[in-house]
Amino acid sequence: MPDTAPDTHIRLALHPQHPSTVVATLTGTKLHTARATLASEGFRPVGDGTMLLVRIDHEEPYYADITANLLHDAGIPVDIADQLQEVIASEWTWAYHPMTWLDRDEIRLVSAETQKIHDDIASGFLTIHQHAHDGHTTVAVGTYQHANSVHLHGENHLRVVNGTYDTPKEAIADFERLYGDTVRTGPPPPTETERQAAEALAALTAGEAARIADAPVEPPTTTERVPVYVADSGDH
């Protein structure tokens, strides 16, 4: 039997309080395929008929567009709110991105790896033992479940793995050797970006979700981003 129904429908819209978070409002009686498709691109359930896409790299509109195409391919009707569609159509790049040698697609690949680190920490798959500040940014040491230990460098969309170790003992010893008296126990305090992401994931009632789907929103803005067509070589 098909796991979608004729009344299945998905609406994607920007969250009015948390741009560029994307809200998916699901209606219908058989939603398994729709939920699975949304989840495959990072949407998380916050209610019976609501899922949110919240990322620390502000790439939600890009992945929402991919999701909409996947839903369409699965035969599920999708409606994209006008303001979200405008953001999807307006390509942008990071201002002052330190990896100046990367093009836009390559930056997205780095961001995807960074997002995975963030999600692994949030889910408990990656446990952070200690953190420190190296004089420029946050660094940390942690261990994956049933896997290697790692050193992390950077914050938000710039956090990367910069060392891999066979055991937590080895990783922690080297971390303490490198950062000495600046080492602190446990994970670092959340950044503003991480805090906003956590707030956006707070559960929504069905009524709130419906209002979000129809509410006008200001276009998302940030001092960290510039449109790709006006970015000079220092803005990539």
Q: Are 205 and 5 in contact (CB under 8 A)?
A: no
Q: Which residues neighbour 110 within 8 Å (Cβ) at sequence distance 6 or greater?
A: 99, 102, 157, 160
Spatial contact of 10 and 78, defined as CB atoms under 8 Å apart? yes
Model pLDDT, residue 91:
72
Q: What does the block give as tokens for 107? A: 């930056």
User: 51 by DSSP, 3-state: which?
Assistant: strand
Using the predicted structure, report yes or no on whether residue 111 has a pLDDT greater than 70.
yes
pLDDT at 202: 74
What's the CA gap between 180 and 204, in Å, rounded? 44
For residue 210, is pLDDT > 60?
Answer: no
Residue 235 above 50 pLDDT? Answer: no
pLDDT reading at 167 higher than 60 = yes
Query: What are the residue ranges of helices labelled H in the chain?
Result: 32-40, 60-73, 82-89, 104-123, 168-179, 192-200, 206-214
Q: Domains in the chain, please, with CATH?
A: 9-94+203-235 (3.30.70), 104-193 (no CATH)
Tokens of 113: 């790896």
User: What is the structure's pLDDT at 9?
Assistant: 93
Give 213's pLDDT tier (boundaries 50, 70, 90).
Answer: low
